[in-house]
């Protein structure tokens, strides 16, 4: 507290910031931060490809992952060590949990700048999550996959967040905050 410059804040990343961080700074357009080959995800990606619900030990029909990461649910953070870190040294950017970002979901695609449906209020109506989760098919753990959550009250054990330090946003005056 008090050690962050006034023009910076700790917050969720924007969708564009998250995508850049996920690719580890690579300017290449890859499916995953390590490249395009899903099979290279073995030992670096927390996905199940298997339905672990009681009595349903079956592979997802479109999983196409010939390995198990050994975890029925979420793996420990940075479990895969150096192999699981991207070019920025960030661990678990794909798989693990869907990560909330700051933007409001736009079904036409992501935005370079922070996006709100209601710019005047600057509030999120339908949050965006990125990165896939441990219970997903491998294709959902791609850098570009986005998920629009139906409302801000939604909660699930397969969702999470990571924070970043970024430029402070302007505070929009409201009745509670004149």
Tens digit of each residue's pLDDT (9 = 90 or more) over 57-76? 555 555 556 667 778 788 89
- E strands, 62-110, are 98-104
Query: Is residue 176 assigned to a domain?
Result: no
- Looking at the chain, the number of H-run helices and the number of E-run strands are 1, 8
pTM of the predicted model as reported, rounded to 2 decimal places: 0.82
Digit-coded pLDDT (tens) for 136-157: 777 788 899 999 988 888 888 8
For 59-73, b/e burial (b = at least 16 CB within 10 A) is ebeebebeeebeeee
Total domains in the chain come to 1
User: Is it the case that residue 28 has pLDDT exceeding 70?
Assistant: yes
Tokens of 123: 């509030």
Domain extent, residue 45, equals: 1-166
What is the CATH number for 79?
Answer: 3.90.1580.10
Predicted pLDDT at 43:
87
Mean confidence (pLDDT) of the chain: 82
Predicted pLDDT at 55:
60
Query: Is residue 52 assigned to a domain?
Result: yes
Query: Is residue 39 assigned to a domain?
Result: yes
Indicate if the alpha-carbon torsion angle 108, 109, 112, 118 is positive or negative. positive
| Residue the block writes with tokens 């509030």 | 123
Query: Is residue 46 assigned to a domain?
Result: yes
Query: Is residue 162 assigned to a domain?
Result: yes
Interstrand relation of 98-104 and 159-160 (parallel, antiparallel or unpaired) = parallel
Digit-coded pLDDT (tens) for 82-106: 999 999 999 999 989 999 998 888 8
Rounded Cα distance between 85 and 96, Å, is 13
Looking at 28-32, 101-105, 125-129, which range is the least confident one?
A: 28-32
Q: How far is CA 59 from the centre of its chain?
A: 23
């Amino acid at each position: 507290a008090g050690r962050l410059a006034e023009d910076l804040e700790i917050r969720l990343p924007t969708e564009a910031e998250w995508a850049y961080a996920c690719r580890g700074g690579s300017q290449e357009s890859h499916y995953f931060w390590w490249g395009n080959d899903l099979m290279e995800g073995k030992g670096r990606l927390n996905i199940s490809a298997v339905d672990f619900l009681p009595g349903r030990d079956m592979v997802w029909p479109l999983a196409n992952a010939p390995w198990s990461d050994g975890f029925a649910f979420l793996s420990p953070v940075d479990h895969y060590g150096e192999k699981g870190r991207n070019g920025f040294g960030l661990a678990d950017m794909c798989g693990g949990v869907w990560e909330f970002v700051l933007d409001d979901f736009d079904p036409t695609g992501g935005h370079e700048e922070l996006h709100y449906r209601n710019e005047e209020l600057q509030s999120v109506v339908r949050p965006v999550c990125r990165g896939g989760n441990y219970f997903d098919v491998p294709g959902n753990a791609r850098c570009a996959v986005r998920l629009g959550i139906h409302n801000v009250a939604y909660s699930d054990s397969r969702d999470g967040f990571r924070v970043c330090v970024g430029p402070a946003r302007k505070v929009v005056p409201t009745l509670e905050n004149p």
